[in-house]
Amino acid sequence: MQAEIQAKIESITATIELLRVHVGYEAAVARVAELELQSAEADFWNDQAVAQEAMREKNRLERQLNMITSLQSEMDDAVGLIELGEIEGDKDVVAEAEEALAQLAVVADKRQLESLLSGEADGNDCFLEIHAGAGGTEAQDWAQMLSRMYSRWCETRGFKLQMIEESAGEEAGIKSVTMRIEGENAYGWLKTESGVHRLVRISPYDSSARRHTSFASAWVYPVVDENIEIEIEDKDLRIDTYRASGAGGQHVNKTDSAIRITHLPTSIVVQCQNDRSQHRNRATAFNMLKARLYELELQKREDAASDAAAGKTEIGWGNQIRSYVLHPYQMVKDLRTNVEKGNAAGVLDGDLDDFVEASLAARVGTQRV
C-alpha cells in the first residue's frame, strides 16, 4: 500500500477517534439505550415538554453515533477493496478505492470541524473586546495590530463587523475596542482566542531601536439569543454616561451619549458609544452585558465538566495564549497547542485558521497535527 494512501487512512482514523472522544461514544451509546427504554414506557408522553426534549436528545445522539459508524464502515470498505485489488493485481479496483478514500478524507475533515463547533452557543454571533496592556503607546499600538488581524480574518470568512466602542491611544493605537462579529459559527470559531497575546519587536517608537515586549488581551463572548433568558436586577447595575470620543462627527462629541454599565456582583463592565442616541447605546450595552453573563455561565459549565478545571485561572495578564515574535526572527507560536508559523506577517494579516483549529481540537483532548 502506497505511503500516501496509508497517510490518508491514518488521518481518517485519527479523525474518527477525535469524534469518538468529542461525542463520548460509550456514554452516548448507553444514553441512547436508556432513552429507548424511557420512550417505551406507557406514561412517557404524559409530560409533552419533557418527552420532546428526551426525543431531541436521542435523535441528536443517534445522528452523532451514526456519523462515526458510517465513517468507520466506509473506510474499512475502501481499505478492504485496496487490499483485494492489490492481491488480484486489479489496478482499476485499487484506483477506484483510493479515490473513494480521498473523498472520505474530505468528508472526515468536514465532520471533524463540525464536531468542534457543536457547543451550546457556537452558532451565535459574538462580541470581541481587545484591551491594551501596560506599556503606553507600545501596548496600544499592539492592540490596534490585533484589531486589524481579527478584522482581516473576518473579511476572509465573509463575516460582518460592527464597531461598538473604540478608545483611541494617547499617541498611537488604541486603548480598547469592542466589535460585534456576525457570521456562521462566529463564536464557535473565535471562542478560544480569549487570552493574552504577547508581541516582541523592535519598537518603531524607540529612537534607540531597542527590542520591546508588549501585551494585549482579547475577550470573546457570544451574542445572546432572544430566546435565552438572563436575569439581571436593576439594583445590581451602575449606569454611567460620558462624552463619546473618536469618529462620529461633531454631534457625537458634544453630548453624553456614550453608556457604561457595571454589573456589581461580577464587576463586569461594558460600554458603547457607536451611536449618537444614548437610548440605542444603552440597549446595545445591555445586550453586551447579557452576553458577558451568558459567557460566564457557559465557562462555569465547561469548567465543571473538565478534569482540568481546577488548574485553570481567569484570563489575566499572566495567562498568555500566543506569542508573536518579529525580532530577531519571525515566529508566531500558540503556547497551548505548540502550533507555530514562521510567516508572522501572514498571521498578522489574518491567517489564523491553523491556530484556531488546533485550539478547538485541544478542547476535546486531541491536538490537530
Whether the per-residue pLDDT at 250 is higher than 50: the answer is no
Bridge-partner residues for 213, per DSSP?
A: 200
HSE-CB at 322 with a 13 A cutoff on CA atoms is 26
Stretch among 29-43, 90-104, 261-275, 353-367 having the lowest mean pLDDT: 353-367
The percent of residues in the chain predicted with pLDDT above 90, rounded, is 55
Higher pLDDT, residue 317 or 92: 92
pLDDT, one tens digit per residue, over 92-142 is: 999 999 999 999 998 888 787 777 777 778 888 999 999 999 888 999 999
Continuous segment of H or E residues that includes residue 269: strand 268-272
- Residue matched to cell numbers 468542534: 116
What pLDDT is stored for residue 318 in this prediction?
A: 58
What pLDDT is stored for residue 232 in this prediction?
A: 87
3-state helix, strand, coil in the chain (%, to 5): 50, 20, 30
The verdict on pTM exceeding 0.85 is no
Please state the rounded mean pLDDT for residues 62-88: 93
Instruction: Answer whether 336's CB lies under 8 Å from 363's CB.
Output: no
Cα separation, 187 vs 184, whole angstroms: 9
Whether the per-residue pLDDT at 23 is higher than 50: the answer is yes
Any long-range contacts for 188-191 (C-beta under 8 Å, 24+ apart)?
188/116, 188/117, 188/119, 188/121, 188/122, 188/123, 188/360, 189/117, 189/157, 189/356, 189/360, 190/126, 190/128, 190/150, 190/220, 190/356, 191/119, 191/122, 191/126, 191/220, 191/222
Q: Write the DSSP symbol of residue 14.
A: H
- Residue 197: left if φ>0, alpha if ψ -120 to 50, beta else—which one? beta
Domains in the chain (CATH in brackets) are: 3-116 (1.20.58.410), 122-369 (3.30.70.1660)
